[in-house]
Structure 1
Amino acid sequence: MLNLRKSIWLVSMAQSKERNTFIMMITTFISRLLGILKARAISSFFGAGLIADAINFSYNIPNNLRKLFAEGALSQAYLPIFSKLKDDDENTSSFLGALFTFQLIIFIPLIVLSFIFSKPFITLLSGFNDENQIVIAANLLPFFLTFLFFISLSTLLSTVLQTRKAFLITGIGPIFFTLTVILSIYLFTNKLSYYSMALGCTAGSIIQMVSQAIVVRKRKIKLKLSNPLKSKWFILTLKAFIPATLYSFILILDQYLSFYIASMLESGAVSAISNSIIFYQTPYGIFFASISTVFFPLIAGEKDDEIKAKYLNNSLTYLVSFLLPSAIILLTLSEQCISAVLQKGRFTYLDTVLTAKVLKWYLFSMIPLAFSSMLSRYCYSKNDYSYPVIVSLVQAILDVSLMFIFVKLNIGAESISLALLISSTIAVLIYLPKIKLFNYPKFFKEIVRIVAANIPLILAAGIIFNLKLTYHVNGSNLKAFCITVSLGILLVCITLIFYIIFKIPFLSLLKNGAEKSAPSKVN
């Protein structure tokens, strides 16, 4: 009887896990699709030259700081605690209030200082020689930091909801944000110039935060200010946050140096990197964010090391299942996709070519990046915060060193993404000794099966690539868009057909947690 109850519980857990992953995947897909439309709006109105470089450089600063205060160090420190408090509304409210107050203490002085010292700050951080670029980036920075504040609060609220299996609203929130930015650019750029971006980001982040707060309140969780130092849960978070901050700070510094080096390269290099990141982050964000959002709380909340390792095994297998075909398809149609989305107005075919060159190495980097991020979370679940710091430090040193070497070799903007590929792959290898009770034979058997299932896709992609299609060179138009979409659908269909033939496990997600597939995810 006990074994029967345990089996029923495991099946239920598996079904819930897959259903939640599927929900996050769909909402993240919509959000990333809108992110591409946002990039199209920016490129259409601001091109890929001096103004766009200034906007992208300034926007990248708060985006980097998200690794600390939003979906980074702080959230990874407090998520395991919220997981433990998921059935305790009173302590959850108290802990939430302490974290809310802590974020206010951090951000209010930061935003005030950014209004006063934005220009010298941008001058110090960037390699811009054009005074207008420095002014534009400096004018936008305080608004972008304000947007970071509200996004950080939104992440805090969404984490509470995720631990209580409310995944739909956490997935919809970013959609509100991106829609607001797009509307602001189209409606207000003619009147406000580049400030339309500032308006959209600030308003969108507020809307995203408020949407999460409403649902939190409906869950009977109170949101009020409280003294962080009086919360034992906050003290525990702080102990985890400090080493996690070192980890994230190293990543931030690495990313900053990437953009600093890019700002000294040819005109358009910063925009090429920013736009290529948007394209590779679309499949990466959809699949990694969806899978890690569901699996990390499970890994963090599991006391049994063997089951913890099984969750890790499943998460890595799912990542390869989705990211490998995504990389192949996008690599095949990189120029076509970039042209269809961005090549309009001030964005030229030369900008498309440069962006595609940078993008190809980012696509190769997706799987090692996803593995490295998932393995760092696994270490956090084991209360090991020092090892990810060591790995990130080694990776950052290697990444920056390779960037400088490749720049000296005149590789250009591609230096940034090529260096990331090599450094992230080495980071994964460094993590391997820390994985305990991991079933390597089973994992490699699954990976071989996934690779075999992708061979027909690789052959089809090779045929399309060798056709040397040129329909997209004249820029974004309906004909080019339809051809690109048709080719993409063809490649996706080939993937699905052979995934069905090879019985790749990712299909169980698309069945919304079918009962017959559930036991295989927990046994």
Structure 2
Amino acid sequence: MNLFRALLTVSGFTLLSRVTGLARETLIARAFGASQYTDAFYVAFRIPNLLRRISAEGAFSQAFVPILAEFKNQQGHDATKALVDATSTVLAWALVLLSLIGIAGASFVVFVVASGLRADGQAYTLAVSMTRIMFPYIVFISLTSLASAVLNTYKSFSLPAFAPVLLNVAFIAAAVFVAPHMKTPVYALAWAVIAGGVLQFFVQLPGLKKIDMMPRIGLNPMRALAHRGVKRVLSKMVPAMFAVSASQISLIINTNIASHIGPGAVSWINYADRLMEFPTALLGVALGTILLPSLSKAHVDADPHEYSSLLDWGLRVTFLLAAPSAAALFFFAEPLTATLFHYGRFDGHAVVMVSRALSAYGVGLIGLILIKILAPGFYAKQDIKTPVKIAVGVLIVTQLSNYVFVPIFAHAGLTLSIGLGSCVNASLLFIMLRRRGIYMPSSGWAHFFVQLLGACLVLAGAMHWFSISFDWVGLHAEPVRRIVLLGACLVLFAALYFGMLWAMGFKYAYFRRRVK
């Protein structure tokens, strides 16, 4: 398998997902602006989304994929299929129970996540109602995560990467066709979440059937729980939940703080999140997705050189593409925000507020992406405890930094603390990988960094000039011109960056890497 080609496949579908996601956010911004209605929706959506990241896409995949790869490579098809069936049974029943608890306790959960909404009784009531509607989403999206983990382990990356597009399609359809006909239009978005979760799961079933890994959910979860593979997954999943929970707890605390800053603050951060997640998904998530199965196989094969070489390749790709992305978020935040969101009820003030949060994310973007590459270096070896300890320590540092940054930068201080905390996290993960001899850098890193620095300095200068030379907010009346101008700038920036690297003798051939 060509790793770079696999990366392009996953990144291509991820790009489609993010483009439709931006279209989704643009439509929501145009229809609802940044108001108590969007605050209520984003608070309600964040709750099942956080649980999804903690229990399913986060801790579950980190614990499940290495063990699934071990079964696949050492124990054969039948044993692997039995593990998938038992795991899906336990996962489904546990999440149905969790959903019922969440629906019953929605009012308490919303209070914990965003107590500031209680100052606006209508927003608080809306958040509670939409939380109850959306909680079952965790069942469908967690089964989707299981299906994705199986397909990725079998080197089938296309369907899992495409599935998130369907959630965005559901949002767009709801915003355009359903919301205008509802008494409270924002409820259409809540129902779109459920529809999107169902679609994401069912679109992957043909891929599972093709490899004879269609999960069978049994009626006896206790029997499934006794499966030795499931026990191992759960034993790894519990500490992994602490690692993933640390970053999600930061998000919950930050959401609560933002809800006290003032109306619109939760939404400003959410819109900045959408833009920040564009490069983190295209690079970090995509690289992590293709690296984890290959790292797991290298560990099972007891090949430390291949293991280190895979990490080295992933880190170089990350720096190559994350550095210009970070420059874009920091120096080109206002043009990006204005072009994508400045329509309808999303006014110029909101553009400024979102841009500030986005620029703060740019400071720590490389750290946010590096975590997605470095953490699998531990997970593939079934070492969950090290990332847990680091994540808990970083959680404390991140929240302490809020006391410094929020009084100075308001809502942007929250995104700055997350970015800087991620840089600390990535640094500690790197140090531990080196100290244990898991990662041994190949030659040429110093020269590589000099080339990146030179190209990024030129790129940053160009971005700053184009950002201040045009009135991006003032182009509100000429949206087509603004979109064309942004597109031309991005093409120019890409040509400038990669052209500078080429002029300095950068060797792109290194990134064409194959694995078995």
**TM-score, length basis structure 2:** 0.91
Q: Which residue of 1 aligns with 2:282?
A: 286
Q: How do residues 480-519 of structure 1 correspond to structure 2 at under 5 angstroms?
A: 480-502=482-504, 504=506, 517-518=512-513
**Contact conserved, 1:321 with 1:504, CA < 8 A, in 2?**
no
CA spacing shift, 1:466–1:342, aligned 2, 3 Å: closer
Answering whether residue 235 of structure 2 is matched by residue 239 of structure 1, we say: yes
Q: Which residue of 1 aligns with 2:421?
A: 423
**Paired amino acid for 2:297:** G
Q: Which residue of 2 aligns with 1:446?
A: 448
Q: Which residue of 2 aligns with 1:194?
A: 186
Q: Which residue of 1 aligns with 2:471?
A: 470
- 1:441 CA displacement: 5.1
Q: Distance in 1 between matches of 2:87 and 2:418?
A: 33
CA spacing shift, 1:387–1:471, aligned 2, 3 Å: closer
Answering whether residue 106 of structure 2 is matched by residue 118 of structure 1, we say: yes
Q: Distance in 1 between matches of 2:510 and 2:61?
A: 29
Q: Distance in 2 between matches of 1:451 and 1:150?
A: 44
**Contact conserved, 1:313 with 1:443, CA < 8 A, in 2?**
no
Q: Distance in 2 between matches of 1:480 and 1:150?
A: 39
1:37 to 5, 19, 23: 23
Q: Which residue of 1 aligns with 2:314?
A: 315
CA spacing shift, 1:189–1:452, aligned 2, 3 Å: same
- 1:404 CA displacement: 2.4
Q: Distance in 2 between matches of 1:285 and 1:505?
A: 25
CA spacing shift, 1:254–1:518, aligned 2, 3 Å: closer
Q: Distance in 1 between matches of 2:128 and 2:496?
A: 48
Q: Which residue of 1 aligns with 2:55?
A: 69
Q: Which residue of 2 aligns with 1:173?
A: 163
Further displaced range: 351-360 or 364-373: 364-373
Residue by residue, what CA displacement relative to the aligned partner does 1:208-265 show, whole Å, maximum 9, x if unpaired?
1001122201222232124322311111111111111111122221110011111110
1:209 to 178, 201, 212: 201
CA spacing shift, 1:46–1:240, aligned 2, 3 Å: same
Q: Distance in 1 between matches of 2:113 and 2:418?
A: 21
Q: How do residues 228-377 of structure 1 correspond to structure 2 at under 5 angstroms?
A: 228-302=224-298, 303-377=302-376
Answering whether residue 8 of structure 2 is matched by residue 22 of structure 1, we say: yes
Q: Which residue of 1 aligns with 2:175?
A: 185
- 1:459 CA displacement: 2.9
Q: Which residue of 2 aligns with 1:386?
A: 385
1:73 aligned counterpart, secondary structure: helix
Further displaced range: 365-374 or 266-275: 365-374
- 1:84 CA displacement: 2.2
Say how many residue pairs are matched. Answer: 498
CA spacing shift, 1:160–1:452, aligned 2, 3 Å: same
**Contact conserved, 1:364 with 1:421, CA < 8 A, in 2?**
yes
**Contact conserved, 2:99 with 2:138, CA < 8 A, in 1?**
no
- 1:383 CA displacement: 2.7
Q: Distance in 1 between matches of 2:352 and 2:201?
A: 37
Alignment identity in percent? 20
Further displaced range: 58-67 or 253-262: 58-67
Q: Distance in 1 between matches of 2:130 and 2:381?
A: 40
2:212 to 220, 231, 235: 220
**Paired amino acid for 1:223:** P
Q: Distance in 2 between matches of 1:366 and 1:485?
A: 22
CA spacing shift, 1:37–1:144, aligned 2, 3 Å: same
**Contact conserved, 2:63 with 2:382, CA < 8 A, in 1?**
no
**Contact conserved, 2:66 with 2:382, CA < 8 A, in 1?**
no
- 1:140 CA displacement: 1.0
**Contact conserved, 1:339 with 1:473, CA < 8 A, in 2?**
no
Q: Which residue of 2 aligns with 1:106?
A: 94
Q: Distance in 2 between matches of 1:508 and 1:145?
A: 45
**Contact conserved, 2:324 with 2:459, CA < 8 A, in 1?**
yes
CA spacing shift, 1:507–1:197, aligned 2, 3 Å: farther
Answering whether residue 86 of structure 2 is matched by residue 86 of structure 1, we say: no
CA spacing shift, 1:455–1:123, aligned 2, 3 Å: closer
Q: RMSD in angstroms over aligned alpha carbons?
A: 2.1
2:145 to 140, 155, 170: 155
**Contact conserved, 1:368 with 1:424, CA < 8 A, in 2?**
yes
**Contact conserved, 2:36 with 2:264, CA < 8 A, in 1?**
yes
Answering whether residue 409 of structure 2 is matched by residue 411 of structure 1, we say: yes
Q: Distance in 1 between matches of 2:276 and 2:212?
A: 39
- 1:317 CA displacement: 0.8
Residue by residue, what CA displacement relative to the aligned partner does 1:488-522 show, whole Å, maximum 9, x if unpaired?
2211221232233345466776xxxxxxx448x99
**TM-score, length basis structure 1:** 0.90
Q: Which residue of 2 aligns with 1:4?
A: none
**Contact conserved, 1:55 with 1:140, CA < 8 A, in 2?**
yes
Answering whether residue 109 of structure 2 is matched by residue 146 of structure 1, we say: no
- 1:398 CA displacement: 0.7
**Contact conserved, 1:338 with 1:352, CA < 8 A, in 2?**
yes
2:192 aligned counterpart, secondary structure: helix
- 1:368 CA displacement: 0.9
Q: Which residue of 2 aligns with 1:52?
A: 38
CA spacing shift, 1:52–1:412, aligned 2, 3 Å: same
CA spacing shift, 1:466–1:39, aligned 2, 3 Å: closer
Q: Distance in 2 between matches of 1:74 and 1:339?
A: 37
Q: Distance in 2 between matches of 1:276 and 1:505?
A: 34
